[in-house]
Amino acid sequence: MAKTIKKKETVNNEAPVVDVYSLLGKKVDKFKLDPDVFSVKVNKPLLHEIIQMYMANSRQGNASTKTKGLVRGGGKKPWRQKGTGRARSGSTRSPLWRHGGTIFGPLPRDFSYDMPKKTKRIALISSLSAKLKDNEIMVLEKDPEFKKPKTSEIAKILVSLKMYGDRVLFLYQDTKEGAIIKSCRNIENMTIKRSTDFNTYDVLSNSKILFSKETHDAIVKRLK
């Protein structure tokens, strides 16, 4: 369980400034990111605990073995209790026998656990700040808009941004669902998430984070 988390500390009061790119991959402007979300002190121990939680929650926990009481057969006593010179035995499904049961083997279980909402929010802010510190956040002038799915157009955008082939997390606003999801889901190594749904694991498991200026405002609204 996570320890008591102190309030996030802003590294500086100045808003970090990043380049804004057009859908053609050209620098068109500068943009100030919110310092309370993208410029806080990175809490590495907390990030480790949060990632461990998400990985544990993704485990199926369906490994199963049979004890001697679950293995089929073995109901008849192999030989009488006394007089044979052999050791006493009551079942051929004893763990000491071939084809017998398993001692202390794994059984189906639930590995999942949770952490407080405040802890997860601070960890998400810390992960975004870490990505910005490593220059792994790119801001678009606007979100791509399609009347129908166009995977090739998304691929062109990634190529122009020199991100094609990298593990990219693309964040979009809830109001722009539909064709944009279908356009992105068939591109290898690309993950697309709503600004209200992504978590710390999504951020840290991808090498690049991509979103528009409008999506930035939605992210800040969610986290502040």
pLDDT of residue 181: 87
Per-block mean pLDDT, blocks of 10 residues, the chain (224 long) = 54 82 92 95 96 96 94 94 95 95 95 96 97 95 86 92 94 78 89 93 96 94 91
Domain ranges for the chain, please list them: 18-42+116-223
93 close to 68: Cβ distance less than 8 angstroms: yes
Spatial distance between the Cα atoms of 105 and 65, rounded to a whole number of angstroms: 6
Q: In what order do the strands lie in the sheet with 168-172?
A: 27-32, 17-21, 137-140, 208-212, 168-172, 190-194
Helices (H), the chain: 35-38, 44-57, 117-133, 151-160, 179-184, 200-204, 213-223
Spatial distance between the Cα atoms of 120 and 207, rounded to a whole number of angstroms: 20
CATH 3.40.1370.10 fits 18-42+116-223, yes or no: yes
Spatial distance between the Cα atoms of 76 and 58, rounded to a whole number of angstroms: 43
